[in-house]
Amino acid sequence: MAINRGLTTTRGSNAPKFLKIKSVFPVAIVLVAATEAKLWQFDSPKKALEHFKAKITTSGGNWEKYLDLWENRFQTTVPVIISTIEAEDDEAVLKGNVIEGIERLKQCRAEFDMKPDIITVPDFEKDVTIAKSMIAVCDVFKARCYYDIDSTTLSEASSFRNEFGSERISLIKSALGTFNVDTNSNEFYDAGTVATFFRAMLDGTEQYGWFKSLSNRPVPMDSIKNPTEFHDGLDETDPLIEIQVWAVVKNQGIRFWSSDATCSADTTWRDALTVRIVDMMSETVRRDLADSIDKDLAEITVIKNSVQSFSNGLMGAGLLLGGSIYLDEEKTTETMIAAGEFEFIFDFQEAPKVRRVNIHFNRVNSYSSVVYKMLEEV
């Protein structure tokens, strides 16, 4: 039988794969509870609250306070990972427990095959070591965290801000409160955790909820522990914005004002929304093109077309102004190609948010003819 003549056929496809950013992302929270120190996973905050209310009979900790707030004021269905830590009267021991609880979150992927998008640790504000532990976990998962620095003055806020240079953390000036009708007083909550709940709620509102900014949206809270003076124009929020600390203001409700900032020294990654867009796109491409590895050369076309189609979809939704993907010919050497390695560049520009509008009122004498029309109608 001839082996060097005739017709042979193969089959395959280079059609782009459908890439889509998920609209709901897991949240990880470290809570103090009278139960064993471990990781728990629930389909929603409601399920977590129901579980712990049925399981925990001994009082103490902050688990009920925050899960109640989440369910009652920021109701949403989002996967929840909880790292429980034991209560302790000794502050040094308690802090050690908190850090262990934060470190335990690194096991999320191994235990639950889940990657938290936001990490929060309520009620341990203004602690550099705890904040840096949170950043370290965020670096592992390309996640983010909001942190309450509980500052009453600009100098205090500035001093704490100088401890960080990470795109993974955003600092918030003050805790927020709800009014307790039983005690006739305000009960305050960690601002970083409030921002986390608010972020998760916005994420789940629609397909592109994750693109929405937290800034200048009414937060369902009643009060601010350390208010920042606010009015249209130069005010106390400006110096906070300059040092990348979120102000919380009262302006037709409670709002995070001009808050889309991280602690990055790089101005590009100082914008929290830009960081988030890249994180979402990166995770989507990694997740949905994972099965493209170890396939033949035609798969390169599939990958390129898939990412370009993904980019086109984001442009069509108004999330990107433009985007294109191309092979980096400088970095993709012949040796790399022989080894099956390829470098691509994805150029993009996100759609800008409306940050400031200037309106000039110009008094003119060009509408006098309206008087004639009025008289003609009489």
- Rounded Cα distance between 310 and 286, Å, is 13
Q: Give the angle 187-175-144 at the CA atoms, nearest 5°.
A: 130
Looking at residue 233, its pLDDT comes to 67
Q: What is the DSSP pairing of strand 245-250 with strand 254-257?
A: antiparallel
Which DSSP letter does residue 219 get? B
Looking at residue 184, its pLDDT comes to 83
The owner of tokens 């003055």 is 153
- Rounded Cα distance between 259 and 180, Å, is 27
The tens-digit pLDDT sequence of the chain (378 residues) is 566 777 877 776 678 999 999 888 999 999 999 999 999 999 999 999 999 999 998 888 999 999 999 999 999 999 999 999 998 889 999 999 999 999 999 999 999 999 999 999 999 999 999 999 999 999 999 999 999 999 999 999 999 999 999 999 999 999 999 998 777 888 999 999 999 999 999 998 888 999 999 988 999 999 999 989 888 767 889 999 999 999 999 989 999 988 889 999 999 999 999 999 999 999 999 999 999 999 999 999 999 999 999 999 999 999 999 999 999 999 999 999 999 999 999 999 999 888 888 899 999 999 999 999 999 887
- 162 sits in the region (left: phi over 0; alpha: psi -120 to 50; else beta) called alpha
Q: Do 191 and 146 contact (CB within 8 A), yes or no?
A: yes
- Rounded Cα distance between 337 and 179, Å, is 63
Looking at residue 3, its pLDDT comes to 62
DSSP H helix total and E strand total for the chain: 12, 13
Distances (CA, A) of 182 to 60, 69, 176, 178, 179: 19, 16, 18, 12, 9
Residues 6+ positions from 268 with CB-CB distance below 8 Å? 274
Q: Do 167 and 263 contact (CB within 8 A), yes or no?
A: yes
User: Mind listing the domains of the chain with CATH numbers?
Assistant: 27-274 (3.40.50), 298-350 (no CATH)
Residues 6+ positions from 66 with CB-CB distance below 8 Å? 29, 31, 122, 189, 190, 193
- Rounded Cα distance between 18 and 50, Å, is 37
Q: What is the DSSP pairing of strand 320-327 with strand 344-350?
A: antiparallel
The whole-model pTM stands at 0.90
- What is the sign of the dihedral through the CA atoms of 298, 300, 306 and 309? negative
